[in-house]
A and B are shown apart, each in its own frame.
Chain A
């Protein structure tokens, strides 16, 4: 299908974008790899698209104060090729090849993936697993929101209608950082039936600060807190059992909730193994 009519404006700066977003029904256009598909299918009807692609300074990857900051307009392919991300955000590096297909990753942006907040998407789960934060510019200036508070419901985030996500910030990996990532999709590049992004800290043979974030199992990325505690106690079997309490995936076109629950256990076993391996 073809999109319904809308107006279009190119933002010259973040401030200009915020100003343009003052119009009722305006939406930010970044990589457009989800948004334009929904326009074509007439699932969304914005009055105005505010294109931020030409705003300078939003496509930087920078390391500062123990964090890595990834600008909203960093395209997936740019992140995939970044030595900085491979080194300081290995979980993101592992997740990136699972996102869509090369042509999608050439255009899609990190900020767009986070702001769109598809519950089956990889990067929102990574952001939450890494205890990252989101930098937002809005009418009242800039603010920072923790990942735990950012994802609020199905495609619902802490972003208001006049907000622009400008960067994400992740704690840079250190020698004791352990990460794991796995997903099950029917075909490569499809959204996952179930996926798991995980991070922890190695302390001798034990794990601490375990964060297990499942995606494709609810309306947001979901932390499995009992399973996290079980893994920190070194009890994988208890962790797998705990998923029955922590996850309640609804049936969808991909699989029934019961199948998803089973697959979540399969993924936890795989990812638990990754978490105990020292990085190369």
Chain B
């Protein structure tokens, strides 16, 4: 099974590596690039811990192959965090205890950021629905919904 040379952009930087076709995107990010903020949970698309952005859309890192990302743009929690774009969301998670062990948090943040990018203040039901594919085994979710809702209100206030 031949390795493929791939060139992609990860967090704004061009990366060139050889990958085996069977390497999933999340394993590539973690094991080859050392970006361990994306987590591996169920490995069949259910838990959401491996979520990353592919060409701007949040996808499952375990249901995408690294080789498919040749020529594409990937952004991980490291990139989103360093850019400062989700600093308010991170702060709200911290203040409201929306994380305990933190395993689901990077993916939860990226998924919440995608919802909030749509603008407005989504209902709590809409927040729950958007986060329904991200499992958290610690918090019972309420604090996460609170944090996302709070940020949406602040952002809406700040822009209106």
Closest chain B residue to A97, Cβ basis = B129
B64-99, CB < 8 A from A: 64-65, 67-68, 70
B122 at the interface (CB under 8 A from A): no
B27 at the interface (CB under 8 A from A): yes
Q: Report A277 CB to chain B, min CB distance, Å.
A: 22
In whole angstroms, how far apart are the Cα atoms of A39 and B60 in the complex? 14
Closest chain B residue to A107, Cβ basis = B59
A175 at the interface (CB under 8 A from B): no
In whole angstroms, how far apart are the Cα atoms of A8 and B130 in the complex? 32
B26-75, CB < 8 A from A: 27, 43-45, 48, 51, 54, 57-60, 62-65, 67-68, 70
Specify which chain A residues have a CB less than 8 angstroms from the CB of B111 in the assembled complex.
Answer: 102-103
| A103–B129 touching, CB < 8 Å | no
B105 at the interface (CB under 8 A from A): no
How many residues in A have their beta carbons less than 8 Å from beta carbons of B? 32
| A106–B57 touching, CB < 8 Å | yes
B2 at the interface (CB under 8 A from A): yes
Binds B, one of A29-37, A203-211, A224-232, A234-242: A29-37
Query: Assuming A7-B21, A37-B44, A40-B44, is B58 touching A103 (CB within 8 A)?
Result: yes
Q: Report A120 CB to chain B, min CB distance, Å.
A: 15
A1-32, CB < 8 A from B: 1-8, 10, 29, 32
| A100–B63 touching, CB < 8 Å | no
Q: Report A141 CB to chain B, min CB distance, Å.
A: 28
| B22–A3 touching, CB < 8 Å | yes
Specify which chain B residues have a CB less than 8 angstroms from the CB of A7 in the assembled complex.
Answer: 1-2, 21
Q: Report A274 CB to chain B, min CB distance, Å.
A: 20
Q: Report A137 CB to chain B, min CB distance, Å.
A: 21
| A100–B133 touching, CB < 8 Å | yes
In whole angstroms, how far apart are the Cα atoms of A32 and B133 in the complex? 17
Interface size class of B (residues with CB under 8 A): 20 to 34
One of A5, A32, A103 near B48 (C-beta < 8 A): A103
| B114–A33 touching, CB < 8 Å | no
Q: Report A84 CB to chain B, min CB distance, Å.
A: 20
A64 at the interface (CB under 8 A from B): no
B104-160, CB < 8 A from A: 111, 114-115, 129-130, 132-134
A51 at the interface (CB under 8 A from B): yes
| A103–B65 touching, CB < 8 Å | no
| A5–B20 touching, CB < 8 Å | yes
A53 at the interface (CB under 8 A from B): yes
Closest chain A residue to B2, Cβ basis = A7
| B44–A8 touching, CB < 8 Å | no
Specify which chain B residues have a CB less than 8 angstroms from the CB of A10 in the assembled complex.
Answer: 70
In whole angstroms, how far apart are the Cα atoms of A70 and B60 in the complex? 24
Residue from B44, B48, B67, B111 whose CB has the most chain A CB atoms within 10 Å: B44
In whole angstroms, how far apart are the Cα atoms of A27 and B124 in the complex? 41
A244 at the interface (CB under 8 A from B): no
The 6 closest A-B CB pairs, nearest first, are A101-B133, A8-B21, A5-B1, A37-B44, A106-B57, A3-B22
A sample of 19 inter-chain contacts (CB < 8 A) reads A2-B22, A3-B24, A5-B1, A6-B1, A6-B21, A8-B4, A36-B62, A37-B63, A49-B65, A51-B68, A97-B129, A101-B48, A101-B133, A102-B58, A102-B114, A104-B63, A107-B60, A187-B132, A188-B132
Give B residues with C-beta under 8 Å from A. 1-2, 4, 20-22, 24, 27, 43-45, 48, 51, 54, 57-60, 62-65, 67-68, 70, 111, 114-115, 129-130, 132-134
Known: A8-B21, A106-B57, A188-B132. 15 other contacts (CB 8 A): A32-B65, A37-B62, A40-B24, A49-B21, A51-B68, A101-B132, A101-B133, A101-B134, A102-B115, A102-B130, A103-B51, A103-B58, A103-B111, A188-B129, A189-B132
